[in-house]
């Protein structure tokens, strides 16, 4: 009997000491404001090496942090979906070898098909019925031209997929960024709720969240280095200036021509001032000394020869000039396609477009297949550290996947540390008062047995918190109330 009792006492004491050991890094963090680093430093106190680095994490209501509600630009989602349908339809028409047929987008909403005769249209109609039955509806048909649009059913599927893809992509990005225990979930039918306890780099984090990371490699039709383009670079600048004048646009500190990009392209397309299946994109450049921002227009072919979805990997590095760049490798399935596209355009300029901004437009000197470099626009005009951060963030978002459309910040609340401290003090006060009340009642009612029960409850709380710390679980205000 005595041996069994001694064994029980030993087990209780050992478990209690082990739980206290697991909680020690948490109390060190509360006292110093800094957790024990995972990689021990030379100037760390000697006892740091004796303890694990895992701490009990506090939720947003206890620790403070950021609360965001995000919305998706579904107009951009619809535009991307209709462009994909046009590309698929065009590819099938080419496979069927139907001559004299052209497709184009109208107002980023409709697909226009021009065909030479009724026989050609019958073949096209069969393709649409066979491959796009519940995806495409007929909007109208006139003399040798048909107009198509996305069906209502398919548009609903596109919206649902956009939300699901955004959630998955955000989770991947936040995981790579290294934030522990974020909350990322649906908020209603078309919004996303994001919470980050204890976040400090909110500016950079918001930048990573909001980037669509849509990468494309598009052939340049007209630009600053393309002689004799149609239209010429000077004509292109005049078209942009004419649009600004016609629309009576005035730009302030937070506005620019780049924010009117879709409106500009629709305007030029409807007025037939740019060739069919081309679009304007801008290259943004900022002078490091004057802080002046300039936007250089590029006229590009709409159909890319490669997209970010076809990349295998992306990582940041440095070029021969010691400027930060993003190195990428192409997936095996797309390498031949990229090689054919670049091989057929040797001598031309190819724009590398990320999030609708031209990052660079190098000349193609040879066939490119499996790997390449994205320059971040360094040099004397930009802060080197900012360029390096841009390269790191760009590689991160390319690895984690593209968002289907730009995310809009609909709501942002920062819960300050003072609120967290107040909540902790209130919770601890409630814990002490509640524990004392239970202690007094149980001792009066149960006497010696009550003392044992109270001790068991206290040890149970230590065990729970120790296990939570070991697994880096999050303690929230409701959880604290549950312990009480």
- Which tokens belong to 194? 């994001």
Give domain status of residue 164, yes or no. Answer: no
SS3 sequence, 239-281? HHHHHHHHCCCCCCCCCCHHHHHHHHHHHHHHCCCCCCCEEEE
CATH code, domain with 88:
3.30.70
State whether 329 and 434 are in the same domain.
no
Give domain status of residue 24, yes or no. Answer: yes
The reported pLDDT for the residue numbered 22 is 81
Report strand pairing: 474-475 vs 57-58: parallel
Question: Per-residue pLDDT tens for 37-53?
Answer: 544 555 566 666 677 76
Last residue in a domain, options 121, 138, 154: 154
Question: Per-residue pLDDT tens for 296-355?
Answer: 999 999 889 998 888 888 888 888 788 888 888 888 888 888 999 999 999 899 998 988
Strand ranges, E, within 273-377: 278-286, 293-301, 306-307, 311-318, 324-330, 350-354, 357-360, 371-375
**Is the full-model pTM beyond 0.95?**
no
Mean pLDDT over the full length of the chain: 81
446 or 422, greater pLDDT:
446
pLDDT at 219 over 90: yes
For the chain, the domain total comes to 3
State whether 145 and 245 are in the same domain.
no
* Average of per-residue pLDDT across 183-194: 86
- Which tokens belong to 18? 């082990």
The reported pLDDT for the residue numbered 158 is 87
Report strand pairing: 102-106 vs 474-475: unpaired
- With H, G, I as helix, E, B as strand and everything else as coil, classify residue 143: coil
Tell me the C-alpha to C-alpha distance, in Å, between residue 29 and each of 62, 158, 420. 15, 46, 15
Give domain status of residue 407, yes or no. Answer: no
CA distance 363 to 342: 10
367 or 435, greater pLDDT:
367
- With H, G, I as helix, E, B as strand and everything else as coil, classify residue 325: strand
Give domain status of residue 47, yes or no. Answer: yes
| Pair 403, 375: CB distance under 8 Å | no
Find where tokens 């996303």 sit. 192
Give domain status of residue 176, yes or no. Answer: no
> What is the band of 218 on the pLDDT scale with cuts at 50, 70, 90?
very high
Tell me the C-alpha to C-alpha distance, in Å, between residue 433 and each of 388, 422, 437, 454. 53, 16, 6, 14
State whether 23 and 89 are in the same domain.
no
Report strand pairing: 110-114 vs 102-106: antiparallel
- From 27-31, 43-47, 128-132, the region with the lowest mean pLDDT: 27-31
Dihedral angle sign, alpha carbons of residues 129, 131, 135, 136: negative
CATH code, domain with 297:
3.30.1360.200
For residue 456, give its domain range: 2-59+425-483
State whether 95 and 232 are in the same domain.
no
């Amino acid at each position: 009997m005595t041996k069994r009792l001694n064994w029980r006492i030993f087990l209780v004491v050992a478990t209690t000491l082990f739980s206290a050991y697991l909680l020690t890094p948490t109390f060190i963090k509360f006292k110093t404001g800094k957790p024990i680093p995972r990689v021990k430093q030379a100037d760390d106190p000697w006892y740091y090496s004796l303890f694990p680095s895992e701490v009990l994490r506090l939720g947003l209501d206890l620790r403070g942090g950021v609360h965001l509600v995000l919305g998706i630009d579904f107009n951009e989602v619809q535009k991307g979906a209709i462009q994909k349908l046009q590309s698929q339809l065009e590819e099938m028409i080419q496979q069927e070898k139907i001559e004299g047929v052209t497709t184009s987008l109208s107002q980023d909403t409709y697909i226009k098909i021009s065909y030479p005769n009724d026989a050609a249209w019958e073949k096209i109609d069969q393709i649409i019925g066979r491959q796009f039955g519940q995806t495409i509806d007929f909007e109208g048909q006139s003399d040798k031209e048909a107009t198509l649009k996305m069906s209502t059913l398919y548009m609903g599927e596109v919206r649902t997929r956009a939300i699901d893809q955004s959630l998955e992509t955000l989770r991947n990005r936040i995981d790579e960024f290294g934030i522990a225990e974020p909350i990322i979930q649906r908020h209603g039918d078309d919004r996303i709720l994001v919470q980050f306890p204890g976040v400090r780099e909110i500016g950079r984090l918001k930048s990573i969240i909001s980037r669509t990371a849509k990468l494309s490699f598009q052939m340049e039709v007209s630009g600053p280095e393309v002689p004799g383009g149609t239209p010429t670079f000077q004509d292109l600048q005049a078209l942009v200036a004419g649009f600004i004048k016609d629309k009576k646009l005035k730009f302030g500190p937070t506005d620019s021509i780049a924010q009117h990009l879709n409106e500009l392209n629709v305007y030029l397309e409807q007025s037939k001032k740019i060739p069919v299946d081309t679009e304007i994109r801008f290259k943004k450049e900022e002078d490091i000394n004057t802080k002046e921002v300039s936007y250089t227009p590029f006229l590009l072919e709409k159909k890319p020869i490669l997209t970010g979805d076809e990349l295998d990997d992306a990582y940041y590095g440095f070029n021969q000039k010691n400027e930060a760049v993003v190195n990428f490798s192409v997936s095996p399935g797309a390498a031949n396609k990229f090689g054919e596209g670049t091989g057929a355009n040797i001598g031309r300029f190819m724009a590398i477009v990320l999030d609708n901004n031209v990052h660079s437009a190098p000349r193609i000197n040879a066939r490119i297949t499996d790997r390449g470099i994205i320059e971040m626009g360094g040099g004397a005009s930009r802060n080197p550290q900012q360029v390096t951060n841009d390269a790191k963030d760009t590689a991160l978002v390319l690895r984690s996947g593209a968002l289907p459309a730009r995310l809009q910040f609909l709501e942002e609340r920062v819960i300050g540390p003072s609120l967290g401290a107040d909540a902790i003090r209130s919770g601890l006060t409630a814990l002490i008062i509640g524990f004392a009340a239970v202690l007094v009642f149980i001792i009066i009612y149960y006497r010696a047995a009550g003392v044992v029960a109270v001790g068991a409850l206290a040890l149970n709380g230590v065990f729970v918190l120790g296990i939570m710390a070991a697994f880096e679980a999050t303690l929230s205000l409701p959880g604290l109330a549950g312990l009480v």
